[in-house]
Amino acid sequence: MTNTPYPIDEMIEDIRLFLPKLIEACLVVEDLLHAPMTEQSWRQFGDMVEGMDDLYKTLNDIHVDLDEEASYHPMHDSIVRALASIKANFGAMNLSMDQDDYIGASECIRFELIPTFKQLAAEFGDVKSKREQRFAANMQYLKSSYPKVYSQLHIQLIDHRHYHIAYARNGMPTLSISATNGKPMQVYSQFNPVNEAKTWISKMASTARVKSKVLMYGFGYGYHAKEYAQVYSEHSLFLYEPDVQVLLAAMSVIDINSLFESLNIIGFAVGTSKDAVDDMLKSFNQFSSERPNIVVLLVYRKIKAEELKVIYSYAEKAIMDHNNGIYNFKRFGLEWTRNSMYNVKSLLTTPSIAELANKLDGVTAVIVGAGPSLEVDMEYLRKMKEHAFIIAAGTAIQALLHHGIEPHLIVSIDGSEGNYKAFEPLDVNHIPLLFAAMIDYRIIEHREGGLLHVHLKSDSTIEHFMGNRGAESVVFKTTHSVTGTAVQAAIYMGCKEIVFAGQDLSYSGTQVYASGAKHLSEEQNETRIKEATFTVENVQGAMNRTSNGMKAMLYDLEDLLSQYAGIRFVNTTHLGAKIRHTIWEPMEEVLQRLDNSVIQENFFSKELIGLQSYSKKQTTEIYERIAQLPEQLKVCESQCRKIVTQIGLLTGLSRTNAKKCLSTITEIDRQWEIVSTSNPFKGLYMRACRGELKQFEGELSKLNAATTLRDQVIFYRNSMEPLIKTMIDRSAELMAIVIETKQRMEAAIELINLREGAHYEQLS
């Protein structure tokens, strides 16, 4: 869709259509002047002169109009140069003709006027119909290849008044953008954009080779991307064009399909909407542990400076997420898998939070962390329990109980040994607890009531074996800390205001936790402080120390809060980190505000009475899936061992029998497809070996870019083999987990039978 262009553009379009005819007429007349002139020759000469005169007058009219309007037009300089050249050379041609110097007139036409008209044609660019055809073809390509980009473009109006397609002296399309001060900013060289791109590449030679996956900030017309790909053909490019209007301009002047075919693209995004930026950041999951190589078009460093700061911070967050994910899954993947499997029994015999949707409508929730600032607010928090819904986020329950405060709800999802040790000595069985399957199974396995569960998106084990089974399966976004789960729970239950207490996410001094939180030794406490080498702004405007992990938690929490525009978030920490999307308010003032709201002591415990859990039929279906796992796991492990054996043959075969080597690779791929679509893989290995799988996925671009048999063999030996060996190494423990889970499931079925039998007797 386009809005109405300048009327002057219509005059320029007429010139575009006319110039080829005038140039053809000039070529004919220039040749005729080398022979005796005839009546026909003079008629053709007169037509040519009339055409030149019409062109000159039209160009001059445009020039005058532009001067009167005092407005910028991308063709202005081209028109001025053409007018000057036509005026001088038209006069020289006429003078030669008056002196019967027909050869001189011919040379003036050939060497002066025709080049002027050709140059003007080059600088005026393609005719409208050709631009429209190219635009339509590009839109069709994006629709099929990059539908998200297409969906952003096809609803946009083209801004002709601020984004001007122009052409360089060499005829290549360029772009100028009118700034707020009215001065045009040239995106590309006005002489040779390709040469400009080559120079840009040469200037970054010292840094470009560092990483093989690159985010190119600014696509423009693709000149820089094309030149980059020619120099660094082994690199993978993610193209990001922040300005939708720039891409709309490009759609009319370049062939995006053929350009993209020449590039090794891993992604393409456009615009500054959250969805577009999120799509862009997903590509960073492919990057290594250090900051990805972000290359920026030179002009964008000037006009997109603030946006670039945001992109760099987003990139840092994406890297933290990626690295934390790999680290945590490598460290806890097997443990989380065990917890999820063992906790299937608890999931089946406890109600889901689904039954409490909007039950707390109008109630303020206070989510308590164990940060040092909690100390100051303990007395206010004690009184707050009468007016707000108090949620202990994970091990913050230690600090609350230490000060004699019992929350209405504990939320815990941590599957680590440390979380178990923190809960082990606590008497909390009478306090409702919301859990996710990854929690250490020992924390909840002996509780007889007061439990409530929710599913997390990242728990591939639970998703595979239990799936989304109706109303019971509320699924929350997985966050970096239990606070994120608590936030989602409070909102799901209807809270419109959420107050954060003790959520410091940084260190203002030398204390890591509030008193009562005992899950760190003094030595571990000191180590935490020493490792806090980063800084973050606190609520008072000063700077606190923080660690990489806590910084990632802060970013993650802020991202979560940004998704709930209708919820009021309040940060009450005295010296904790500033949290975007919250307002700061002292706990004392929050308490005064809520003075008229009254909450009964055990109201939430009463809400849990009578909530339903899974039926016998659902439990039996899930049990049957798990009961088949031992045999399936044996088959899967056997296939993995075959793959390792076949990979071991590749190096030798690549030297002696290339055909056999290729067929072995095909067989490896076939076996891997069987493994990766099996129940054990989807339900067990995907979680137990997720860290190694993420690394493997990040290396897949090497296989896609492999151009030789040797490169393919290296991929299978260096990337796939370590993953398969890790899967084999963990198979024995996974088998033990499966067998234990099967026994626990049988106990769950027995419990459900007893429950339903008791219910039947009660009805009788």
- Rounded Cα distance between 533 and 548, Å, is 8
Answer whether residue 248 shows pLDDT above 90: yes
Return the percentage of the chain with pLDDT > 70, whole number.
90
Which pLDDT band holds residue 1 (cuts at 50, 70, 90)? very low
Name the average pLDDT for the chain: 88
Tell whether the model's pLDDT for residue 456 goes beyond 70: yes
What three-state secondary structure class fits 415? coil
The domains of the chain are located at 7-124, 131-319, 343-608, 616-763
CA–CA distance, 217 with 284 (Å, rounded to integer): 13
Mean pLDDT throughout 289-316?
73
pLDDT of residue 639: 96
- CB environment 572-597: b (16+ within 10 A), e (fewer): bbbbbbbbebbebebbeebbebbeee
Torsion over CA of 159, 161, 164 and 165, rounded to 10 degrees?
A: 60
Among 296-300, 375-379, 687-691, which is the least confidently predicted range? Answer: 296-300
Confidence grade of residue 756 (pLDDT, cut at 50, 70, 90): low
pLDDT band for position 208 (cuts 50, 70, 90): low
Exposed/middle/buried for 759, CB within 10 Å: 0-12, 13-18, 19+? exposed
Q: Inform me whether the pLDDT recorded for 318 exceeds 70.
A: no
* pLDDT at position 288 over 50: no
In this predicted structure, what is the pLDDT of residue 555?
86
Per-residue pLDDT band at 279 (split at 50, 70, 90): low
pLDDT given for residue 210 in this prediction: 58
Q: Are 381 and 405 in contact (CB under 8 A)?
A: yes
Long-range contacts of 456-460 (CB under 8 A, 24+ apart): 456/413, 456/485, 459/336, 459/340, 459/687, 460/682, 460/683, 460/686, 460/687, 460/690
| Predicted confidence (pLDDT) per residue in 52-105, tens digit | 999 999 999 999 988 887 778 889 999 999 999 999 999 999 999 999 999 999
330 versus 719: the higher-pLDDT residue is 719
Among residues of the chain, what percentage have pLDDT more than 90?
61
Higher pLDDT residue, 212 or 208?
Answer: 212
Tens of pLDDT, residue by residue over 123-168, are 999 999 999 999 999 999 999 999 989 988 988 888 988 899 999 9
If one compares 523 and 490, the residue with the highest pLDDT of the two is 490
Whether pLDDT at 121 is above 70: yes
The CATH class given to the 131-319 domain equals: alpha beta
Q: Which region among 237-241, 577-581, 674-678 has the lowest average model confidence (pLDDT)?
A: 237-241
Q: Which of 76-90, 196-210, 282-296 has the highest mean pLDDT?
A: 76-90
Task: Determine the average pLDDT of the residues in 572-579.
Answer: 93
Most confident among 151-160, 181-190, 323-332 (mean pLDDT): 151-160
pLDDT tier at 754, thresholds 50, 70, 90: low
Give me the pLDDT at residue 764, please: 40
DSSP collapsed to 3 states, 73-101: CCCHHHHHHHHHHHHHHHHHHHHHHHCCC
Type of residue numbered 564: Y
Confidence of residue 291 (pLDDT cuts 50, 70, 90): low
Residue with the larger pLDDT of the pair 751 and 13: 13
Burial class (CB in 10 A: 0-12, 13-18, 19+), 207: exposed
